[in-house]
Amino acid sequence: MVARVAAGSRADAQQAIDAAAAAFPGWSQTPAAERQRIFLKAADLLESRRDEIVGWLARETGCSFGFGMFQMGFVPGLFRQAAGAAYAPIGQIIPSDMPGAFAMAVRRPVGVVGAIAPWNAALILSARSIAAPLVFGNTVVLKPSEESPFSGGLVWGEIFAEAGLPDGVLNIVTHAPGEAAPIGDELVQDPRVRRLNFTGSTATGRRLAEAAGRHLKRVVLELGGQNPLIVLSDADLEYAVDAAAFGAFLHQGQICMSARRIIVERSIADAFIDALTRKTAGLKVGDPKELDTIIGPLINPAALEMVQRRVDAAVASGARVLTGGAATGPCFQPTLVSNVPADSDLDRMETFGPVATVEVVDNEDDAVTRANATSYGLASGIITSDPDRGTALASRIDAGIVHVNDQPVHDEPQMPFGGVKDSGWGRFGGTFAMDEFTEMRWITVQRGRRPFPF
Ligand code: ADP
């Protein structure tokens, strides 16, 4: 057991919304300098607890030391950039055709924001779900995943309280396994919650967006990905292999951006697949507390079973396991599968685990066709030594994020992060999040007497 955590109910969500709504008038009027100060302090406090929190990430979510350190590196930067964004909501003065009228567009915070975060990159994704909403002057109710109530939730209560965030501005509702729905329902249905943001599976996001639609409530949705990594014939072979292994297997493939479909041009395919298979087979599987472990445990036994089921089903319909293909204790071995039928679940559906499919294509047009043959559209990568060729192809990939000569797993706090198609809508990141978590208002001042027709 890692910890005992409160099993919050719908009534607790209601209380959290009460507190957030009561805190909104004060917080929304707080000077930008004060919001900035709190976020800068939160970044420092987080850094001062680095080793402890990396430990929490390992124990709560099976996160390897490397990915824990990556998360701990990312979030202070996210907070420091958020601190700067306190000054970003500037308005406009717009020429009015009404004589004597002075017209402005000004941004205002929206009110209470509901944030629903997942467990997989618990620290980053929960931090992202609260940072922009708070710094733009909204109050927040955060519902972390039941798999990461501390490193994806309660940790922010401790850090922001110490940083001086006033009471009621950030509220966190944890819950028992399987009890997310009542809290989510309350966030969707209470009219005081003006916006939602959700990071998680496409199935849950779709249900949430349907329900939010009935209440005419906007939701930022960051959902799954079935992300392609294209390896072109002119790629540097060693670099391509390192990129593919990192993209597919970081955090044992439990990242929405993970490279799940590796698509390689035929002329380089044999050498690339051979080298990638050897590298994959050599990745250390085991205890995430050991510093050199690359592949830690999957989040829970159900995830392990699901990954095994998908791999077995693909094999039963003709696929071939190049390496891996089975569990080792609570871990799934890093796995490459070729000859995967196009209609199999492994090809079509996001499989949250260390499994990538490998596919050989004749040319770059076929690579683009295959890359786009998915209902998802989050992240993608094109490995090539020719930046012009890569840039030309990038515009043909249906994804919110394309990295040329890199793999898909990459994020920086200031970038417009989000997907197209079933990967969601809206953007986290930098000032792009301003469109999501502020409301544009049109205000006019009539400096005289305008004529009226009657
Ligand atoms: P995953 O399978 O990756 O955990 P989920 O979409 O189930 O993805 O989880 C993402 C977040 O959504 C978690 O915080 C989870 O508790 C929450 N969640 C799950 N079901 C619901 C629901 N019915 N309403 C609101 N949130 C939910």
User: For the chain, which residues make up each domain, given as ranges?
Assistant: 10-223+419-444, 227-404
Q: Which atom of ligand 1 is nearest to the CA of 144?
A: 14
Cβ 222 under 6 angstroms from ligand 1: no
Question: Of 454, 450, 440, 382, which is closest to residue 105 (Cα–Cα)?
Answer: 440
For the chain, the C-alpha Rg in angstroms (whole number) is 23
**CATH class of the domain comprising 227-404:** alpha beta
Cβ 189 under 6 angstroms from ligand 1: no
Predicted confidence at residue 7, as pLDDT, reads: 98
Cβ 109 under 6 angstroms from ligand 1: no
Q: How far is the CA of 63 from the centre of ligand 1 (A)?
A: 19
Q: Whose CA is nearest to atom 25 of ligand 1?
A: 184
How would residue 15 be classed by pLDDT, with cut points 50, 70 and 90?
very high
Q: How far is the CA of 29 from the centre of ligand 1 (A)?
A: 33
Q: How far is the CA of 145 from the centre of ligand 1 (A)?
A: 7
Contact 147/53 with Cβ under 8 angstroms?
no
Active site residue 290: no
Per-residue pLDDT tens digits for 189-240: 999 999 999 999 999 999 999 999 999 999 999 999 999 999 999 999 999 9
Please say if the pLDDT value at position 60 is more than 90: yes
Whole-number mean pLDDT of the chain?
97
Q: How far is the CA of 102 from the centre of ligand 1 (A)?
A: 46
Q: What CATH superfamily is the domain 10-223+419-444?
A: Aldehyde Dehydrogenase; Chain A, domain 1 (3.40.605.10)
In this chain, the answer to whether the domains covering 10-223+419-444 and 227-404 adopt an identical fold is: no
Predicted confidence at residue 399, as pLDDT, reads: 98
End-to-end CA distance of the chain: 75
Average pLDDT for residues 53-61, to the nearest whole number?
Answer: 95
Please say if the pLDDT value at position 329 is more than 90: yes
Q: Which atom of ligand 1 is nearest to the CA of 187?
A: 25
Residue to probe by mutation, ligand 1, list 204, 222, 254, 258, most atoms within 8 Å of CB: 204
Q: Which atom of ligand 1 is nearest to the CA of 120?
A: 3
Q: Catalytic: which of 146, 222, 350, 359?
A: 222
Predicted confidence at residue 84, as pLDDT, reads: 96
Angle 403-376-397 (CA atoms, 0-180°, nearest 5)? Answer: 40
Active site residue 63: no
Cβ 180 under 6 angstroms from ligand 1: yes
Q: Whose CA is nearest to atom 23 of ligand 1?
A: 181
Please say if the pLDDT value at position 1 is more than 90: no
Q: How far is the CA of 114 from the centre of ligand 1 (A)?
A: 13
Average pLDDT for residues 75-82, to the nearest whole number?
Answer: 98
- Identify the weakest region by mean pLDDT among 96-100, 239-243, 318-322, 427-431: 427-431
Q: Rounded CA gap, 345 and 334, in Å? A: 18
Residue to probe by mutation, ligand 1, list 128, 141, 145, 147, most atoms within 8 Å of CB: 145
Read off the pTM: 0.96
Q: Whose CA is nearest to atom 11 of ligand 1?
A: 118
Q: How far is the CA of 198 from the centre of ligand 1 (A)?
A: 9
Q: Whose CA is nearest to atom 15 of ligand 1?
A: 145
Report the relative pairing of strands 424-425 and 218-222 from DSSP bridges.
Answer: antiparallel
Phi then psi for residue 102, to 5 deg, are -110, 115
Per-residue pLDDT tens digits for 379-430: 999 999 999 999 999 999 999 999 999 999 999 999 999 999 999 999 999 8
Predicted confidence at residue 196, as pLDDT, reads: 98
Q: Which atom of ligand 1 is nearest to the CA of 299?
A: 4
Q: How far is the CA of 392 from the centre of ligand 1 (A)?
A: 37
Q: Whose CA is nearest to atom 19 of ligand 1?
A: 180
Share of the chain above pLDDT 90, in %: 98
Q: Catalytic: which of 256, 331, 350, 359?
A: 256
Per-residue pLDDT tens digits for 342-383: 989 999 999 999 999 999 999 999 999 999 999 999 999 999
How would residue 2 be classed by pLDDT, with cut points 50, 70 and 90?
confident
Cβ 76 under 6 angstroms from ligand 1: no
Predicted confidence at residue 431, as pLDDT, reads: 84
Q: How far is the CA of 431 from the centre of ligand 1 (A)?
A: 26
